[in-house]
Structure 1
Amino acid sequence: MKSKFGIKEVVAIGIGTALFVALTEIQIPTPIPNTYLQPRMALMAFLAAVFGPIVGGLVGLLGHALGDAMFYGSVWWSWVVPDGVVGLVIGLFAAKYAVKEGGFTNTKAITLFNVMQVIANAAAWILVAPILDIVIYAEPVNKVFIQGIGAFIGNILIIGILGTLLCVGYSKIGAKSSSLSKED
Protein backbone atom coordinates (compact mmCIF):
# COMPACT_ATOMS: atom_id res chain seq x y z
CA MET A 1 0.00 0.00 0.00
CA LYS A 2 1.49 3.30 -1.09
CA SER A 3 0.52 6.01 1.35
CA LYS A 4 1.08 9.73 1.08
CA PHE A 5 1.21 11.90 4.20
CA GLY A 6 1.22 15.63 3.71
CA ILE A 7 -0.42 18.89 4.66
CA LYS A 8 -3.97 17.67 3.90
CA GLU A 9 -3.52 14.80 6.37
CA VAL A 10 -2.08 17.11 9.05
CA VAL A 11 -5.04 19.48 8.58
CA ALA A 12 -7.46 16.52 8.69
CA ILE A 13 -5.94 15.39 12.01
CA GLY A 14 -6.25 18.89 13.48
CA ILE A 15 -9.77 19.62 12.29
CA GLY A 16 -10.91 16.04 12.87
CA THR A 17 -9.58 16.05 16.44
CA ALA A 18 -11.27 19.39 17.17
CA LEU A 19 -14.60 18.15 15.78
CA PHE A 20 -14.25 14.83 17.61
CA VAL A 21 -13.74 16.74 20.89
CA ALA A 22 -16.69 19.04 20.14
CA LEU A 23 -18.91 16.02 19.44
CA THR A 24 -17.91 14.40 22.77
CA GLU A 25 -20.86 16.04 24.50
CA ILE A 26 -23.40 14.58 22.06
CA GLN A 27 -24.31 11.34 23.77
CA ILE A 28 -27.38 9.19 23.33
CA PRO A 29 -27.94 7.08 26.46
CA THR A 30 -28.13 3.30 26.31
CA PRO A 31 -29.42 0.94 29.01
CA ILE A 32 -25.78 0.10 29.86
CA PRO A 33 -24.19 2.43 32.47
CA ASN A 34 -21.47 4.79 31.13
CA THR A 35 -22.03 3.59 27.56
CA TYR A 36 -23.49 5.95 24.95
CA LEU A 37 -24.13 6.23 21.24
CA GLN A 38 -21.77 8.95 20.03
CA PRO A 39 -21.83 10.49 16.53
CA ARG A 40 -18.14 11.36 16.88
CA MET A 41 -17.35 7.77 15.91
CA ALA A 42 -18.95 8.32 12.48
CA LEU A 43 -16.74 11.37 11.94
CA MET A 44 -13.61 9.41 12.88
CA ALA A 45 -14.57 6.52 10.58
CA PHE A 46 -15.23 8.95 7.73
CA LEU A 47 -11.84 10.63 8.17
CA ALA A 48 -10.14 7.22 8.35
CA ALA A 49 -11.90 6.14 5.14
CA VAL A 50 -10.85 9.32 3.35
CA PHE A 51 -7.33 9.92 4.71
CA GLY A 52 -6.15 6.52 5.93
CA PRO A 53 -4.97 4.78 9.09
CA ILE A 54 -2.69 7.45 10.56
CA VAL A 55 -5.37 10.13 10.40
CA GLY A 56 -8.09 7.75 11.66
CA GLY A 57 -5.97 6.41 14.50
CA LEU A 58 -4.72 9.82 15.65
CA VAL A 59 -8.14 11.47 15.49
CA GLY A 60 -9.48 8.64 17.66
CA LEU A 61 -6.61 8.78 20.17
CA LEU A 62 -6.19 12.54 20.40
CA GLY A 63 -9.88 13.36 20.14
CA HIS A 64 -10.93 10.92 22.83
CA ALA A 65 -8.08 11.84 25.18
CA LEU A 66 -8.67 15.59 24.81
CA GLY A 67 -12.45 15.16 25.08
CA ASP A 68 -12.09 13.17 28.30
CA ALA A 69 -9.64 15.68 29.76
CA MET A 70 -11.76 18.72 28.86
CA PHE A 71 -15.21 17.43 29.75
CA TYR A 72 -14.51 14.91 32.51
CA GLY A 73 -11.26 16.10 34.06
CA SER A 74 -9.35 12.87 33.51
CA VAL A 75 -8.58 10.47 30.68
CA TRP A 76 -9.96 6.91 30.67
CA TRP A 77 -7.13 5.33 28.66
CA SER A 78 -8.76 1.94 28.33
CA TRP A 79 -11.40 3.58 26.11
CA VAL A 80 -9.04 6.02 24.35
CA VAL A 81 -6.87 3.25 22.87
CA PRO A 82 -9.84 1.37 21.31
CA ASP A 83 -10.96 4.51 19.47
CA GLY A 84 -7.48 4.69 17.96
CA VAL A 85 -7.71 1.02 17.02
CA VAL A 86 -11.04 1.54 15.24
CA GLY A 87 -9.71 4.52 13.27
CA LEU A 88 -6.50 2.70 12.38
CA VAL A 89 -8.19 -0.50 11.17
CA ILE A 90 -10.87 1.30 9.14
CA GLY A 91 -8.18 3.51 7.60
CA LEU A 92 -6.03 0.58 6.50
CA PHE A 93 -8.46 -0.01 3.63
CA ALA A 94 -9.01 3.65 2.63
CA ALA A 95 -7.65 3.07 -0.89
CA LYS A 96 -10.14 0.25 -1.48
CA TYR A 97 -13.13 2.39 -0.36
CA ALA A 98 -12.18 5.03 -2.98
CA VAL A 99 -14.09 7.74 -1.12
CA LYS A 100 -11.81 10.54 -2.40
CA GLU A 101 -12.09 9.30 -5.96
CA GLY A 102 -15.88 9.22 -5.93
CA GLY A 103 -16.04 5.42 -5.88
CA PHE A 104 -17.84 4.94 -2.56
CA THR A 105 -21.20 4.73 -4.29
CA ASN A 106 -20.97 1.05 -5.20
CA THR A 107 -22.09 -1.85 -3.05
CA LYS A 108 -18.63 -3.42 -2.92
CA ALA A 109 -16.96 -0.36 -1.31
CA ILE A 110 -19.83 0.25 1.12
CA THR A 111 -19.87 -3.41 2.14
CA LEU A 112 -16.09 -3.50 2.66
CA PHE A 113 -16.24 -0.31 4.77
CA ASN A 114 -18.95 -1.78 6.98
CA VAL A 115 -17.33 -5.21 7.28
CA MET A 116 -14.07 -3.53 8.34
CA GLN A 117 -15.78 -1.24 10.83
CA VAL A 118 -17.54 -4.23 12.43
CA ILE A 119 -14.22 -6.11 12.67
CA ALA A 120 -12.46 -3.00 14.03
CA ASN A 121 -15.17 -2.36 16.60
CA ALA A 122 -15.23 -6.01 17.67
CA ALA A 123 -11.47 -6.03 18.25
CA ALA A 124 -11.54 -2.66 20.01
CA TRP A 125 -14.61 -3.01 22.23
CA ILE A 126 -14.96 -6.75 22.85
CA LEU A 127 -11.22 -7.36 23.38
CA VAL A 128 -9.02 -4.28 23.84
CA ALA A 129 -11.26 -2.07 26.02
CA PRO A 130 -12.34 -4.76 28.50
CA ILE A 131 -8.81 -6.15 28.84
CA LEU A 132 -7.36 -2.66 29.42
CA ASP A 133 -10.17 -1.87 31.92
CA ILE A 134 -9.23 -4.98 33.89
CA VAL A 135 -5.45 -4.48 33.67
CA ILE A 136 -5.28 -0.69 34.20
CA TYR A 137 -8.28 0.02 36.45
CA ALA A 138 -9.03 -3.39 38.03
CA GLU A 139 -12.64 -3.13 36.87
CA PRO A 140 -14.99 -6.11 37.38
CA VAL A 141 -14.85 -8.56 34.46
CA ASN A 142 -18.60 -8.89 33.91
CA LYS A 143 -19.10 -5.09 33.95
CA VAL A 144 -16.41 -4.31 31.37
CA PHE A 145 -17.47 -6.98 28.91
CA ILE A 146 -21.11 -5.82 29.08
CA GLN A 147 -19.98 -2.23 28.49
CA GLY A 148 -17.67 -3.39 25.68
CA ILE A 149 -20.46 -5.27 23.93
CA GLY A 150 -22.73 -2.23 24.33
CA ALA A 151 -20.08 0.07 22.84
CA PHE A 152 -19.50 -2.42 20.01
CA ILE A 153 -23.19 -2.51 19.08
CA GLY A 154 -23.60 1.26 19.42
CA ASN A 155 -20.53 2.05 17.34
CA ILE A 156 -21.40 -0.33 14.51
CA LEU A 157 -24.83 1.30 14.30
CA ILE A 158 -23.50 4.87 14.38
CA ILE A 159 -20.71 4.18 11.88
CA GLY A 160 -22.91 1.93 9.76
CA ILE A 161 -25.53 4.65 9.36
CA LEU A 162 -23.87 8.06 9.81
CA GLY A 163 -20.37 7.03 8.72
CA THR A 164 -21.68 5.40 5.56
CA LEU A 165 -23.83 8.47 4.77
CA LEU A 166 -20.85 10.81 5.27
CA CYS A 167 -18.70 8.69 2.95
CA VAL A 168 -21.40 8.39 0.28
CA GLY A 169 -22.15 12.13 0.42
CA TYR A 170 -18.49 13.12 0.19
CA SER A 171 -17.85 10.60 -2.56
CA LYS A 172 -20.75 11.96 -4.63
CA ILE A 173 -20.16 15.67 -4.05
CA GLY A 174 -17.00 16.60 -2.18
CA ALA A 175 -14.54 14.33 -3.92
CA LYS A 176 -15.29 15.90 -7.28
CA SER A 177 -15.18 19.51 -6.11
CA SER A 178 -12.24 19.78 -3.75
CA SER A 179 -11.07 23.37 -3.53
CA LEU A 180 -7.67 22.46 -2.06
CA SER A 181 -4.83 22.70 -4.51
CA LYS A 182 -1.08 23.03 -4.37
CA GLU A 183 0.22 26.54 -4.96
CA ASP A 184 3.16 27.16 -7.28
Structure 2
Amino acid sequence: MRQEKLSIQTIVAIGIGAAVFVILGRFVSIPTGIPNTTIETSYAFLALMAVIFGPVAGGLIGLIGHALKDLIMYGSPWWSWVVVSALVGLLIGLLSKRINIQEGEFGGKQIISFNLFQVISQAVGWFLVAPTLDILIYAEPANKVYVQGIVAGISNMVTVGVIGTLLLIAYAKTRHKSGSLDKE
Protein backbone atom coordinates (compact mmCIF):
# COMPACT_ATOMS: atom_id res chain seq x y z
CA MET A 1 0.00 0.00 0.00
CA ARG A 2 1.46 3.33 -1.09
CA GLN A 3 1.35 6.10 1.47
CA GLU A 4 1.32 9.67 0.18
CA LYS A 5 2.66 12.50 2.31
CA LEU A 6 1.21 15.98 2.31
CA SER A 7 3.48 18.53 0.69
CA ILE A 8 4.68 21.52 2.67
CA GLN A 9 2.64 23.67 0.29
CA THR A 10 -0.53 21.72 1.16
CA ILE A 11 0.16 21.89 4.90
CA VAL A 12 0.64 25.66 4.69
CA ALA A 13 -2.54 25.92 2.59
CA ILE A 14 -4.45 24.01 5.30
CA GLY A 15 -3.24 26.43 7.99
CA ILE A 16 -3.92 29.55 5.98
CA GLY A 17 -7.19 28.13 4.66
CA ALA A 18 -8.45 27.34 8.16
CA ALA A 19 -7.51 30.84 9.35
CA VAL A 20 -9.30 32.50 6.42
CA PHE A 21 -12.33 30.22 7.00
CA VAL A 22 -12.46 31.47 10.63
CA ILE A 23 -12.13 35.13 9.62
CA LEU A 24 -14.79 34.89 6.91
CA GLY A 25 -17.11 32.91 9.19
CA ARG A 26 -16.67 35.42 12.01
CA PHE A 27 -16.78 38.70 10.10
CA VAL A 28 -18.34 38.05 6.67
CA SER A 29 -21.50 36.12 7.42
CA ILE A 30 -25.08 37.34 7.15
CA PRO A 31 -27.84 36.34 9.59
CA THR A 32 -30.77 34.46 8.02
CA GLY A 33 -33.38 34.94 10.74
CA ILE A 34 -33.16 31.24 11.58
CA PRO A 35 -31.40 30.75 14.96
CA ASN A 36 -27.67 29.90 14.69
CA THR A 37 -27.87 29.82 10.88
CA THR A 38 -26.07 32.37 8.71
CA ILE A 39 -25.17 32.87 5.08
CA GLU A 40 -21.47 31.93 5.06
CA THR A 41 -18.97 33.24 2.52
CA SER A 42 -16.40 30.91 4.08
CA TYR A 43 -17.76 27.97 2.05
CA ALA A 44 -16.92 29.70 -1.24
CA PHE A 45 -13.33 30.00 -0.03
CA LEU A 46 -13.39 26.38 1.21
CA ALA A 47 -14.50 25.26 -2.26
CA LEU A 48 -11.67 27.22 -3.90
CA MET A 49 -9.07 25.69 -1.60
CA ALA A 50 -10.52 22.18 -1.96
CA VAL A 51 -10.41 22.35 -5.77
CA ILE A 52 -6.85 23.71 -5.76
CA PHE A 53 -5.33 21.50 -3.03
CA GLY A 54 -7.54 18.40 -3.07
CA PRO A 55 -9.80 16.44 -0.73
CA VAL A 56 -7.47 16.07 2.27
CA ALA A 57 -6.80 19.81 2.39
CA GLY A 58 -10.48 20.60 1.81
CA GLY A 59 -11.57 18.27 4.59
CA LEU A 60 -9.00 19.57 7.07
CA ILE A 61 -9.69 23.23 6.25
CA GLY A 62 -13.41 22.63 6.84
CA LEU A 63 -12.79 20.68 10.06
CA ILE A 64 -10.19 22.97 11.63
CA GLY A 65 -11.70 26.22 10.37
CA HIS A 66 -15.24 25.45 11.51
CA ALA A 67 -14.12 24.07 14.89
CA LEU A 68 -12.01 27.17 15.60
CA LYS A 69 -14.77 29.52 14.44
CA ASP A 70 -17.30 27.86 16.75
CA LEU A 71 -14.81 27.88 19.63
CA ILE A 72 -14.20 31.61 19.19
CA MET A 73 -17.84 32.57 18.61
CA TYR A 74 -19.73 30.18 20.91
CA GLY A 75 -17.18 28.79 23.36
CA SER A 76 -17.27 25.23 22.01
CA PRO A 77 -17.54 23.55 18.60
CA TRP A 78 -20.91 22.29 17.37
CA TRP A 79 -19.47 18.98 16.19
CA SER A 80 -22.29 17.88 13.91
CA TRP A 81 -21.81 20.94 11.71
CA VAL A 82 -18.01 20.80 12.00
CA VAL A 83 -18.14 17.25 10.62
CA VAL A 84 -20.29 18.43 7.71
CA SER A 85 -17.88 21.27 6.89
CA ALA A 86 -15.10 18.67 6.74
CA LEU A 87 -17.28 16.39 4.60
CA VAL A 88 -18.19 19.19 2.17
CA GLY A 89 -14.52 20.23 1.84
CA LEU A 90 -13.50 16.61 1.26
CA LEU A 91 -16.22 15.93 -1.32
CA ILE A 92 -15.61 19.14 -3.28
CA GLY A 93 -11.88 18.34 -3.12
CA LEU A 94 -12.55 15.04 -4.87
CA LEU A 95 -13.63 17.11 -7.86
CA SER A 96 -10.10 18.51 -8.12
CA LYS A 97 -9.11 15.39 -10.07
CA ARG A 98 -11.73 16.17 -12.74
CA ILE A 99 -11.17 19.93 -12.99
CA ASN A 100 -7.73 20.82 -14.27
CA ILE A 101 -7.63 24.22 -12.60
CA GLN A 102 -3.81 24.24 -12.46
CA GLU A 103 -3.74 24.24 -16.27
CA GLY A 104 -5.92 27.36 -16.42
CA GLU A 105 -9.00 25.44 -17.49
CA PHE A 106 -12.28 26.51 -15.94
CA GLY A 107 -14.79 27.13 -18.71
CA GLY A 108 -18.46 26.33 -19.16
CA LYS A 109 -18.18 22.55 -18.86
CA GLN A 110 -16.05 22.75 -15.69
CA ILE A 111 -18.32 25.41 -14.15
CA ILE A 112 -21.37 23.21 -14.67
CA SER A 113 -19.56 20.13 -13.34
CA PHE A 114 -18.27 22.06 -10.31
CA ASN A 115 -21.68 23.46 -9.44
CA LEU A 116 -23.55 20.18 -9.88
CA PHE A 117 -21.01 18.44 -7.67
CA GLN A 118 -20.97 21.14 -4.98
CA VAL A 119 -24.79 21.22 -4.84
CA ILE A 120 -24.96 17.43 -4.41
CA SER A 121 -22.15 17.47 -1.82
CA GLN A 122 -23.81 20.20 0.20
CA ALA A 123 -27.27 18.67 -0.09
CA VAL A 124 -25.96 15.42 1.39
CA GLY A 125 -24.11 17.30 4.13
CA TRP A 126 -26.60 19.96 5.14
CA PHE A 127 -29.95 18.32 4.34
CA LEU A 128 -29.13 14.85 5.70
CA VAL A 129 -25.92 14.50 7.74
CA ALA A 130 -26.00 17.71 9.83
CA PRO A 131 -29.61 17.41 11.04
CA THR A 132 -29.26 13.68 11.70
CA LEU A 133 -26.09 14.23 13.75
CA ASP A 134 -27.80 17.11 15.61
CA ILE A 135 -30.54 14.69 16.65
CA LEU A 136 -28.16 11.84 17.53
CA ILE A 137 -25.46 13.88 19.32
CA TYR A 138 -27.39 16.76 20.86
CA ALA A 139 -30.98 15.40 21.00
CA GLU A 140 -32.19 18.48 19.13
CA PRO A 141 -35.80 18.58 17.86
CA ALA A 142 -36.03 17.24 14.30
CA ASN A 143 -38.21 20.02 12.90
CA LYS A 144 -35.74 22.68 14.12
CA VAL A 145 -32.55 21.06 12.82
CA TYR A 146 -33.95 20.09 9.43
CA VAL A 147 -35.08 23.69 8.84
CA GLN A 148 -31.63 24.92 9.89
CA GLY A 149 -29.96 22.36 7.61
CA ILE A 150 -32.11 23.29 4.62
CA VAL A 151 -31.50 27.03 5.09
CA ALA A 152 -27.75 26.53 5.64
CA GLY A 153 -27.49 24.16 2.67
CA ILE A 154 -29.34 26.40 0.22
CA SER A 155 -27.43 29.51 1.29
CA ASN A 156 -24.10 27.66 1.04
CA MET A 157 -25.01 26.31 -2.40
CA VAL A 158 -25.76 29.84 -3.61
CA THR A 159 -22.62 31.43 -2.11
CA VAL A 160 -20.39 28.66 -3.49
CA GLY A 161 -22.24 28.78 -6.81
CA VAL A 162 -21.72 32.52 -7.19
CA ILE A 163 -18.65 33.55 -5.17
CA GLY A 164 -16.89 30.16 -5.42
CA THR A 165 -17.34 30.05 -9.19
CA LEU A 166 -16.01 33.60 -9.55
CA LEU A 167 -13.00 32.78 -7.36
CA LEU A 168 -12.23 29.68 -9.44
CA ILE A 169 -12.58 31.60 -12.71
CA ALA A 170 -10.21 34.27 -11.39
CA TYR A 171 -7.74 31.65 -10.15
CA ALA A 172 -7.80 29.77 -13.47
CA LYS A 173 -6.92 32.99 -15.28
CA THR A 174 -3.71 33.22 -13.23
CA ARG A 175 -2.58 29.78 -14.45
CA HIS A 176 -0.91 29.21 -17.79
CA LYS A 177 -1.98 26.41 -20.05
CA SER A 178 0.85 24.07 -20.89
CA GLY A 179 2.11 24.73 -24.39
CA SER A 180 0.52 28.19 -24.46
CA LEU A 181 3.81 30.05 -24.70
CA ASP A 182 5.16 30.70 -28.16
CA LYS A 183 8.84 30.44 -28.92
CA GLU A 184 10.22 33.47 -30.73
- Tell me the TM-score normalised to structure 1 length: 0.90
Letter in 2 for 1:128: V
Say which one has the larger Rg.
Answer: 2
What is the alpha-carbon distance in structure 2 between the residues aligned to residue 33 and residue 17 of structure 1?
Answer: 24
Give the aligned partner of residue 142 of structure 2.
Answer: 141
Letter in 1 for 2:170: G
Alignment of 1:71-82 (within 5 A): 71-82=73-84
What is the alpha-carbon distance in structure 2 between the residues aligned to residue 4 and residue 113 of structure 1?
Answer: 26
Q: Aligned pair count? A: 173
Alignment of 1:84-103 (within 5 A): 84-103=86-105
Consecutive unaligned residues of structure 2, counting only runs of 5 or more, are 177-184
Q: Secondary structure at the match of 2:6?
A: coil
| Deviation for aligned residue 1:10 | 0.7
Q: Secondary structure at the match of 2:101?
A: coil
Give the aligned partner of residue 179 of structure 1.
Answer: none
| Deviation for aligned residue 1:70 | 1.6
| Alignment CA distance shift 1:137-1:143 (3 Å) | same
Consecutive unaligned residues of structure 1, counting only runs of 5 or more, are 177-184
What is the alpha-carbon distance in structure 2 between the residues aligned to residue 50 and residue 5 of structure 1?
Answer: 14
Letter in 2 for 1:68: D
Q: Deviations over 1:1-39 (max 9, x none)?
A: xx8731111111011011111112122111322211011
Give the aligned partner of residue 153 of structure 2.
Answer: 152
Letter in 1 for 2:44: A
Give the aligned partner of residue 32 of structure 1.
Answer: 34
What is the alpha-carbon distance in structure 2 between the residues aligned to residue 167 and residue 4 of structure 1?
Answer: 26
What is the alpha-carbon distance in structure 2 between the residues aligned to residue 81 and residue 145 of structure 1?
Answer: 16
| Alignment CA distance shift 1:117-1:4 (3 Å) | farther
Equivalent pair of 1:97/1:110 in contact (CA under 8 Å): no
Q: Secondary structure at the match of 1:93?
A: helix
Alignment of 1:4-153 (within 5 A): 5-25=6-26, 26-104=28-106, 106-153=107-154
User: Post-superposition, which runs of at least 4 consecutive aligned residues in structure 1 deviate over 4 A?
Assistant: none
- Tell me the TM-score normalised to structure 2 length: 0.90
What is the alpha-carbon distance in structure 2 between the residues aligned to residue 16 and residue 46 of structure 1?
Answer: 10
What is the alpha-carbon distance in structure 2 between the residues aligned to residue 51 and residue 84 of structure 1?
Answer: 14
What is the alpha-carbon distance in structure 2 between the residues aligned to residue 57 and residue 113 of structure 1?
Answer: 17
Letter in 1 for 2:78: W
| Deviation for aligned residue 1:71 | 2.0
Q: Secondary structure at the match of 2:63?
A: helix
What is the alpha-carbon distance in structure 1 between the residues aligned to residue 32 and residue 22 of structure 2?
Answer: 20
| Deviation for aligned residue 1:156 | 0.3
Identity of aligned residues (%): 52
